[in-house]
Structure 1
């Protein structure tokens, strides 16, 4: 959904309304030129020249409206023909009105002449606009023979306006390219974070387990463990974007990973699943699960990501608090979202340890937990007191119109963050 909105933002170019405005301008000004010609028809000695020219201009303008719908269809041959028609109208004015050469009178195309110049500006920027407006200025001066102050004023006005619009278009195009590149980088970063989470939940933990068990067995297994540790460091560095690995690398390898429920990838995006069924495999001898009595329904992707974040939190408990530490999972289903808390009775996290882990490229909290919740539009709060354990509270907002039957309820017999009620062990 996010990528779809990004692609739509890129397609919505700032040039689109400018091209639409140009099409409307061309149509309105050719009608204005015809009305003005009819109002001043008495001064034209060769009336038929004006009628013929304006008829051609009207047909050309209406027939070429699709051409000015965007830069792709506004080709160079079209621009040349369009500008040539405007210049021809200016130069034909003295033939239709012999007195026009020495007087400040309106030319046959009138202000329609600015349309082709603006088309040059939108298509090629300020340089093309400068070229087209210069030709129009030369034609005006040639048609007047003795240009007056008003003639020069009109020439400068068209010149400055077209060049200014051309420059604005160039700046807008550069800004769009920058925005498109930023969106590509953001999408690539999000994909990298997703892959990093998946790798952390699977490959990195397997390599760490091989390293730990190989070292314990000794002999050839120790060499295999050493190689697995090196590969873990290299892979961790790769998925974190080149961050320096921890000194000693594999020596601090995590213990065996918690079982991660397979995400329901084959389910439709709009289908909801019961979060309890994904959290049930985590219940064990030292892991208690307290949940509501009614189903806790979430979209399939959100439920799978939240369950994976819980698995990452339990893995951190085993890694840092030890295999003998106890953990409690509490599920609360509220009207606005689902809150899952993971608490342990370990020694807690020393101050500054999370920042150090992020610098070392370890992804447990930064990506596998907080990254997942951030992508779901939720939050992950971590509270740790040395000697009193750690609690991770993960909140996922509920999509509008998807209230669960259990919304507003807690696990039976629970109060606040108590871990009593329906317990699975």
Structure 2
């Protein structure tokens, strides 16, 4: 029945309580000129209360045909009141036979169709009541009931609409959570099997050479594409999964390795880290050659995200970075260190004749 269920049960209770109230008025108030007709109206109300309670409990029956019949039955009972009241119609203290029972279809319209539907139903019932009072020259025109009926329709319709929207959002969140759990499970399985095999094929093919090297290159491309696929997942608003940005740097010459779990950072931090990695890879191509290989590793350790760019070049001569900064060539100083420092992170450069390693650390927050 969903979140609407409590609304329909509340309306059913309201119908029964209003029916009892109308019956008590009929039994105690001796001013009705035709009590027999009045009890017939009460009987019709009782039958429809039972039928409507059953019909609205079945989700398949709830719709505009049932709502229209519900409103018409209430109007018929209301319009029968003058025949029961007779000459006392409109006298002070005289209530229409249905009393508050006519508000039930207004509430039903509001729950099903929202504020506008509730306002329309309230307007129809209120117009019928005011028309009956206007027919009697001695009857005072009282707007309190019409105003309260209109407010009830609008307020209940608004609350019902908010409840439906909340239920839909919860349902979507549950579906997304279930889908993400399945994605994470598959990502773990792929990471533990397929990606490791592709990485092995790539490494061994490069070592063997010849046709095996081409096979290794193809395995490397597929590994990078598969890692980007399993890394793509929605991140919280204002955040980005750093893996998806790093995977864009993957190529036959650049191997990108990331964990199976997300590396979520604030979007500016994730974009800054990716830009720093791009600058580091540009340095590899510039100083180590267009065919130089590089590796990008990303991991999460405690409250820090670490990204490492490694190459197999000749290394950076001692003092070269300082001389470059003094000469105004600020590639590493600004493109990497300056950018990461602005994000609250640190950069460590380790160089040796066997290659250079640039380690970028950024806080999770």
TM-score (norm 1): 0.55
| Superposition deviation, residue 132 in structure 1 | 0.8
Q: For residues 269-321 of structure 1, what are the alpha-carbon distances to aligned partners after superposition, in whole Å with 9 as ceiling and x for unaligned? A: xxxxxxxxxxxxxxxxxxxxxxxxxxxxxxxxxxxxxxxxxxxxxxxxxxxxx
Q: For residues 163-222 of structure 1, what are the alpha-carbon distances to aligned partners after superposition, in whole Å with 9 as ceiling and x for unaligned? A: 110011111111111111122122222211111110000000000000111001011111
Aligned to 2:149: 158
Contact 1:30-1:112 at 8 Å conserved across structures: yes
The correspondence for 1:97, drawn from 61, 68, 85, is: 85
Aligned to 1:419: none
Aligned to 1:245: 247
Distance in structure 1 (CA, Å) of the matches to 2:300 and 2:8: 61
Contact 1:93-1:100 at 8 Å conserved across structures: no
* Unaligned residue ranges in structure 2 (runs of 5+): 233-243, 258-298, 310-365
Aligned to 1:37: 26
Larger gyration radius, structure 1 or structure 2: 2
Distance in structure 2 (CA, Å) of the matches to 1:57 and 1:120: 18
Query: Is 1:203 aligned to residue 175 of structure 2?
Result: no
Distance in structure 1 (CA, Å) of the matches to 2:77 and 2:154: 22
Query: Equivalences for 1:90-239 in 2 at 5 Å?
Result: 90-104=78-92, 105-145=94-134, 148=140, 151-239=142-230
Aligned residues: 253
- The ranges of structure 1 where at least 4 consecutive aligned residues each deviate by more than 6 angstroms after the TM superposition are 250-255, 349-354
Distance in structure 2 (CA, Å) of the matches to 1:173 and 1:200: 40
Distance in structure 1 (CA, Å) of the matches to 2:28 and 2:51: 25
* DSSP 3-state at the match of 1:148: coil
Contact 1:214-1:223 at 8 Å conserved across structures: yes
* Unaligned residue ranges in structure 1 (runs of 5+): 1-10, 256-348, 360-425
Aligned to 1:420: none
Aligned to 1:78: 66
| Superposition deviation, residue 355 in structure 1 | 2.0
Q: For residues 338-366 of structure 1, what are the alpha-carbon distances to aligned partners after superposition, in whole Å with 9 as ceiling and x for unaligned? A: xxxxxxxxxxx99899724599xxxxxxx
Decide whether aligned partners of structure 1 residues 171 and 246 sit closer, same or farther in structure 2, where only a CA change above 3 A counts: closer
Contact 1:46-1:97 at 8 Å conserved across structures: yes
Q: For residues 377-414 of structure 1, what are the alpha-carbon distances to aligned partners after superposition, in whole Å with 9 as ceiling and x for unaligned? A: xxxxxxxxxxxxxxxxxxxxxxxxxxxxxxxxxxxxxx
* DSSP 3-state at the match of 1:214: helix
Q: Which has the higher helix share?
A: 2
* DSSP 3-state at the match of 1:355: strand
* DSSP 3-state at the match of 1:45: coil
| Superposition deviation, residue 103 in structure 1 | 2.2
Distance in structure 1 (CA, Å) of the matches to 2:54 and 2:300: 68
Distance in structure 1 (CA, Å) of the matches to 2:18 and 2:124: 20
Aligned to 1:57: 45
Decide whether aligned partners of structure 1 residues 50 and 66 sit closer, same or farther in structure 2, where only a CA change above 3 A counts: same
Decide whether aligned partners of structure 1 residues 227 and 156 sit closer, same or farther in structure 2, where only a CA change above 3 A counts: same
Distance in structure 2 (CA, Å) of the matches to 1:248 and 1:34: 79
